[in-house]
Structure 1
Amino acid sequence: MAGIILNRCPKASADTGIRVVPPEETLKRVIPLLDKAGMEPLEDITDKDNIGIPVYSVYRKKTAKGTFGNYNGKGATPEQAMASAAMEAIERYSAELHDEDEIVLGTIQQVRDNGPMIEPDDLILPARVMYNLEAADIAWTTGYDLIQGQEVWIPACAVYYPYYPDGDLQLFRFHTNGIASGNTIEEAILHGMFEVIERDAWSIAEAFDRTNADIVVDDEDSVPGKLLKQFRDNGVEIHLKDLTSDLGIPTIGASSDDVSTKDPELLNIGVGTHLDPVIAATRALTEVAQSRTTHKHGLKVNANLVKVTKEMGYERIKAVNRLW
């Protein structure tokens, strides 16, 4: 692949993230692409929940095996939520393995002999693949190392979503961690990095069963302050936790408790990462709103998880998630 040169970009919108153009301009650019990618028009699902924080959805008729056809977006304004949903739809479409993508099969040593690579054992691998790692054929594609300034070979299962092996060793199950779209390459890379940092900090908190300090929002006129009021006014308690890891990039978790309904399925969590902690909190809060709304709308429902949640009940689910 061609080298990537990062340039300075103007900052035009920053309520829920650093963007190079306002959400209205993003929508002008991306909406014409939705039909090309097989998407239905954007749908406003905000009224599926009583909170009123904007949430939009995009439906894709034909999806790859093992993936969902609903893509959702949230924001402090309708335009932000629409842009968020549309960009997630394009992100997932772009992450699929397309006909023009080039895949090469080879052992680690064969690929190592042909240039720089991401060593598979530098990734977090399950124990089941380790005993055959050096001898197995692995699928590879090319990427670009921004730090070293060079093209590198990367295991295909770490790039594409979804990825199913075809005679090669699948190192781990495909996932969406770090996939991001943007108005520019710089914007996309930044938000992909934020997501990886966010998931890492969240995983550390869960693994060690601890968070940093609780967070109190004193400024009721700030975006997080206004969002918190919307939750409170509708009988939903929100707890904000500092999840920032040793990387030092502000990461905030928000957990919701619908004390009016005591519905175990509405004990939701949202996490946000950003260089600006106010934006990190905003992202966490709007993600909680998105989780509530999409659940009530019946999107991305895991039937087994719903069954287990109902069987456990409100009090047991709260006890299990006492960290939050």
Structure 2
Amino acid sequence: MLNSGFAHKSFFFGTHRLIEPHATFDRVKPFFSDFGITRVANLSGLDRIGLPVVMVCRPNARSSAVFHGKGIDLPSAKASGVMEAIETWHAEHAELPLRFGSFDELRARFQLCDVDGLPALPNVMFDRSRPLLWAEGRNLVTDRPIWVPFELVHAISTVSGPPSSNCFAAGTNGLASGNHILEAMSHALCEVIERDATSLWRCGRATEQDGRRLDLSSVDDSACRTVIECLDAARFDIGVFDITTDVGVAAFQCLIVDRVEELGHIGTGAGCHPSREIALLRALTEAAQVRMTYILGSREDITAADYATETLRGRNIATGDMIQRSAPTRSFTGVPTRSFEDFNTEVQWLVGRLEAIGLGQVIAVDLTKDELAIPVVRVLVPGLEGSDHHPFYTQGARARAKARDRR
């Protein structure tokens, strides 16, 4: 998969892409009916922040029916939203080589992934004698085939899963699309590294979290400065934390709290990318997007409790305290950064960073459909933490080790 042709980047404003965001949108728009996309709505005016946020609707989805996109401008937000909807459709309609059998049965004939490093469900011990469906992927470290549990590849959540599902904490982590398979891989790798970073950051000591707060005056990227100034002008307190881990890929967590409305919705966002300015911009714009998500209230995972007075007050107090108690001492220029002219080198570097910390299985499952020719990939990295936003998240080895350090 790493030998999938040369993928030279040509767009570098606010993100790194093979082609400009508007060209991506125009390329996939003719397929909207295939994906069940009925609406792409500009939500930017629903919040006084004014940053571009869009909503993409797929009413007959087999998972979430609403997706959101964000970016430095409206074309970027539209491309972000529709590609998220499209990649999820691919995972809902995965057509892959599958095998049905137990771990113990198949391991004698096939290379299987390290199931102990996959995101586990609480109080569920994986049964190696239990038959389940496996999908074929490719280990990007060895460039050899490797089989992974199918329930961590597909994204169907509206109906009962295939036989012997519910062994792992399944979601959409590591699912990504792009204009080239390597662009999709880069996005997917950054996402799994980001989710690992946010989970580790949240289980760290408060003093460690506080010491990672970013001095926003040290940010020297024009796009990031524009968003920071926009949030400040809209009267929001901003707390950004450098959550980069031992993987060495820049990652940030952003918190925003309304200075005007005591019971306003907060915003939280995270971003990860080899280039620190792209990672920061993703975290900033995602915080605005998350706040907009609550204002709109259209997602299935939002409940009435999210709008209760006690909930809003509690979130504002907790988030405001986290921002106010910490001094912004971390310099943006001290965060590691790399920039690559092509996705070939970028993906190789990302895989190398994971391999450098002892993760020997970096697995990509190609979900691209030939008749649509929109590259989609699911990446799994046994050993990385899963998303602690998952309703059934349970700590993996890295988080448990960090928790032990707190004692």
Aligned match of 2:67: 71
1:159 to 150, 153, 167: 153
User: Would you say how many aligned residue pairs link Structure 1 and Structure 2?
Assistant: 316
- Give the CA deviation at 1:259: 1.1
Q: What's the % identity of the aligned pairs? A: 28
Is 1:105 matched up with 2:100? yes
Aligned match of 1:229: 229
- Give the CA deviation at 1:15: 2.9
Aligned match of 1:310: 309
Is 1:267 matched up with 2:266? yes
Aligned match of 1:117: 112
Instruction: Report the Cα distance in structure 2 between the residues aligned to 1:196 and 1:253, rounded to whole angstroms.
Output: 15
Aligned match of 1:203: 199
Aligned match of 2:143: 149
- Give the CA deviation at 1:323: 4.2
Aligned match of 2:277: 278
Aligned match of 2:289: 290
Matched residue of 1:208: which SS? coil
Give RMSD over aligned pairs. 2.1
In the superposition, relative to structure 1, how do residues 29 and 319 fare at CA in structure 2: closer, same or farther (>3 Å)? same
For residue 155 of structure 1, what is the amino acid of its counterpart? Answer: P
Per-residue CA distance 1:80-105 (angstroms, 9 max, x = gap) = 0010011111111011144x444322
For residue 295 of structure 2, what is the amino acid of its counterpart? Answer: K
Instruction: Report the Cα distance in structure 2 between the residues aligned to 1:286 and 1:6, rounded to whole angstroms.
Output: 31
Aligned match of 1:34: 32
What TM-score do the two structures reach when normalised by structure 1? Answer: 0.90
In the superposition, relative to structure 1, how do residues 32 and 207 fare at CA in structure 2: closer, same or farther (>3 Å)? same
- Give the CA deviation at 1:25: 1.2
In the superposition, relative to structure 1, how do residues 280 and 188 fare at CA in structure 2: closer, same or farther (>3 Å)? same
Instruction: Report the Cα distance in structure 1 between the residues aligned to 2:43 and 2:198, rounded to whole angstroms.
Output: 27
Is 1:180 matched up with 2:176? yes
Instruction: Report the Cα distance in structure 2 between the residues aligned to 1:79 and 1:191, rounded to whole angstroms.
Output: 18
For residue 141 of structure 2, what is the amino acid of its counterpart? Answer: I
Contact 1:138 1:170 in 2 (8 A): no
For residue 35 of structure 1, what is the amino acid of its counterpart? Answer: S
In the superposition, relative to structure 1, how do residues 313 and 28 fare at CA in structure 2: closer, same or farther (>3 Å)? closer
For residue 123 of structure 1, what is the amino acid of its counterpart? Answer: L
Matched residue of 1:129: which SS? coil
Contact 2:257 2:316 in 1 (8 A): no
The ranges of structure 1 where at least 4 consecutive aligned residues each deviate by more than 6 angstroms after the TM superposition are none
Greater mean deviation of Cα atoms: 160-169 or 190-199: 160-169
Is 1:243 matched up with 2:237? no
Instruction: Report the Cα distance in structure 1 between the residues aligned to 2:87 and 2:227, rounded to whole angstroms.
Output: 27
Residue correspondence of structure 1 range 20-31 to structure 2 within 5 A: 20-31=18-29
Unaligned runs of 5+ in 2: 324-407
Is 1:10 matched up with 2:4? no
Contact 1:4 1:144 in 2 (8 A): no
Instruction: Report the Cα distance in structure 2 between the residues aligned to 1:232 and 1:152, rounded to whole angstroms.
Output: 48
For residue 232 of structure 1, what is the amino acid of its counterpart? Answer: D
1:191 to 187, 199, 202: 187
Instruction: Report the Cα distance in structure 1 between the residues aligned to 2:255 and 2:97, rounded to whole angstroms.
Output: 42
What TM-score do the two structures reach when normalised by structure 2? Answer: 0.73
Contact 1:178 1:193 in 2 (8 A): yes
Unaligned runs of 5+ in 1: none
- Give the CA deviation at 1:196: 0.5
1:46 to 37, 41, 44: 44
Greater mean deviation of Cα atoms: 248-257 or 103-112: 103-112
In the superposition, relative to structure 1, how do residues 41 and 313 fare at CA in structure 2: closer, same or farther (>3 Å)? closer
In the superposition, relative to structure 1, how do residues 323 and 103 fare at CA in structure 2: closer, same or farther (>3 Å)? farther
2:86 to 83, 90, 101: 90
